[in-house]
Amino acid sequence: MRTSKYLLSTLKETPASAEVISHQYMLRAGLVRPVASGLYTWLPTGLKVLKKVENIVREEMDKAGAIETLMPMVQPADLWQESGRWTDYGPELLRLEDRHHRPFVLGPTHEEVITKLISSELSSYKQLPINLYQIQTKFRDEIRPRFGVMRGREFLMKDAYSFHLSQECLNNTYQDMHSAYCNIFERLGLDFRPVIADTGSIGGDASHEFHVLADSGEDDIAFSDSSDYAANIEKAEALAPDTERGAATAELTKVATPNVHTIEDVSKFFDVAAKDVVKTLLVLGEHEEGETAPVVALVLRGDHELNEIKAEKISGIAAPLTFATDEQIKAVANCDAGSIGPAGLAIDIIVDRSAAVMADFICGANESGYHYTGANFDRDIHNYKVEDIRNVVAGDPSPCGNGKLTIKRGIEVGHIFQLGEKYADAMNAGVLTETGKNQTLTMGCYGIGVSRIVAAAIEQNHDENGIIWPDAIAPFKVVIIPMNMHKSHRVQETAEKLYAELTAAGVEVLFDDRKERPGVMFKDMELIGIPHAIVVGERNIDNAEVEYKNRRSGEKSLIAIDEAVNFVLNQ
């Protein structure tokens, strides 16, 4: 490709709307352009990268025995009513009507369509197991699209669905997909981790997310420093401390604490660490529709954070987790939010494992403007349950039993889970078994965010000059940068010759034949992130040489013109 016949569309300045580095570089390097909030046009260079990612995903899925299909993006509402998600899915599901006023949705995922298909196409156990996938545009009407294509509303996704008669069979395919995903991210050249994940609202047994490690990631991942244990912080278990609770030595004493509300205020006021204070959060308990919700107290160490996912799974607590309003707090604890404490509360109390071993601690006194010191469980607080309701923190013991946890940020680029019979049951998908009986299928589902991978790859591979593509997904493998070609026949001849030879050898080569000064070309090509550059200039032609420059290492070397093509092929 010659730049003179191409759409480079690079930008010198960073558009004000771009926050994260991948978004900035995707705009500046001419990969994408915004169309509306969360919607992007892929320019030629961006599309080349997207297609490369897509092809690697496709090849590995095929290799793992999955079969490609393509389902419609617009889906009839009745499929969603059949599965129950027409009401469950919420406002992320974009609903629309056709000219006959029939309701449709823009597909955020395709469990309904695929399960319906399977239920009509499969009839015998002999056809199982089967794993179908597609690479297709999804639409989710996100509350807040951000970070460019990282969290767009429309995005390209690979989604696969497998069907089985037994859990054991599902486990096998699940493992195959796990390995296929590892192969994919290795081929993409990304630093990634499979992590144990929450199964979310879908339920099911096993679930793993695949994260690309990057500081700008939206998820926290907990790792063991001495095993391969890794889990999303939503899921990582905080083990009970192995220390025994100390004996109560202090008297329960009420202290006036005017204008002291937050944990920070309290620890400053008493001059103690946040870990010596207890915080009490009031949330709504489980209740029937229309009934008044009971209130439940959650007790945590002052320096720990509540894990909502863990909390809402505890029986007696309403899901989704809902915090009590100021009025509800007043009614139950008879005070403002800043002075709640577990001592003397006549409601259900759930105490975090780490808070449960504290003794002689400080907590709210359920009277506005007062706290207790010297509070103790069992003596001052009764009828409580101990549960794991906090987020793990760095330094906690790993739940696997080996080592301590460290925490890093990750970008979720893949998610595999076992769905069980939920959809097959709702959509009536079953086959006849060997004994001639109808049996409902069990199902697995496996997603990869193809367009998000492009952004994640940039987050992980860039410097102050621009993108540094891993070779596997670079839009071009090599760029030819001629110095003042329009003034030198020798430079032009050499550059044209190399371009022809590289093209003939099947190398994806960009030939910067613009009538630009060298600095402009260097800057543009580094911004776009082409891994290898051949610089053709008068001064090296005298020795029958050209310069090679590596984008990642920045190293330069001189190579014989005759060797150049082979040299590039070997990179």
Partner RNA sequence: CGGUGAUUAGCGCAGCUUGGUAGCGCACUUGGUUUGGGUCCAAGGGGUCGCAAGUUCGAAUCUUGCAUCACCGACCA
Q: Which residues contact RNA (rule: CB under 7 A)?
A: 10-17, 19, 34, 36-38, 143-147, 261-264, 266, 279-283, 302, 305-306, 308, 321, 323-324, 329, 337-341, 364, 391, 465, 483-484, 487, 517-520, 522-524, 526-527, 535-540, 547, 549, 556
To RNA, the closest distance from the beta carbon of 143 in angstroms equals: 5
Q: Which is nearer to RNA, 160 or 281 (CB)?
A: 281
Neighbour count for residue 498 (Cβ, 10 Å)? 22
Beta partners for residue 510, in sequence order: 479
CA-to-CA distance for 415 and 412, rounded, in angstroms? 8
Q: Which is nearer to RNA, 161 or 361 (CB)?
A: 361
Is residue 562 classed as helix, strand or coil in its secondary structure?
helix
Q: Which is nearer to RNA, 340 or 351 (CB)?
A: 340
* Contact between residue 51 and residue 34 where contact means Cβ atoms under 8 Å apart: no
Q: Which is nearer to RNA, 308 or 421 (CB)?
A: 308
To RNA, the closest distance from the beta carbon of 95 in angstroms equals: 15
CA-to-CA distance for 20 and 509, rounded, in angstroms? 29
User: CA separation (Å) from 36 to 33, 153, 165?
Assistant: 9, 10, 44
To RNA, the closest distance from the beta carbon of 116 in angstroms equals: 32
DSSP code string of 414-426: EEEEEEETHHHHH
Neighbour count for residue 355 (Cβ, 10 Å)? 27
To RNA, the closest distance from the beta carbon of 177 in angstroms equals: 29
To RNA, the closest distance from the beta carbon of 101 in angstroms equals: 23
CA-to-CA distance for 490 and 485, rounded, in angstroms? 8
Q: Which is nearer to RNA, 536 or 565 (CB)?
A: 536
Q: Which is nearer to RNA, 19 or 68 (CB)?
A: 19
Q: Which is nearer to RNA, 408 or 523 (CB)?
A: 523
Burial profile 333-352: b = 16 or more Cβ within 10 angstroms, e = fewer: bebebbbbbbbebeebbbbb
- In the numeric block, which tokens belong to residue 477? 């493998």
- Identify the residue whose tokens are 């020795």: 543
To RNA, the closest distance from the beta carbon of 305 in angstroms equals: 4
- Identify the residue whose tokens are 């179908």: 132
Q: Which is nearer to RNA, 69 or 216 (CB)?
A: 216
How big is the chain by its Cα radius of gyration, in Å? 30
To RNA, the closest distance from the beta carbon of 491 in angstroms equals: 9
To RNA, the closest distance from the beta carbon of 267 in angstroms equals: 9
Strands (E), 83-170: 95-97, 103-106, 130-139, 154-164
- Identify the residue whose tokens are 């990582």: 236
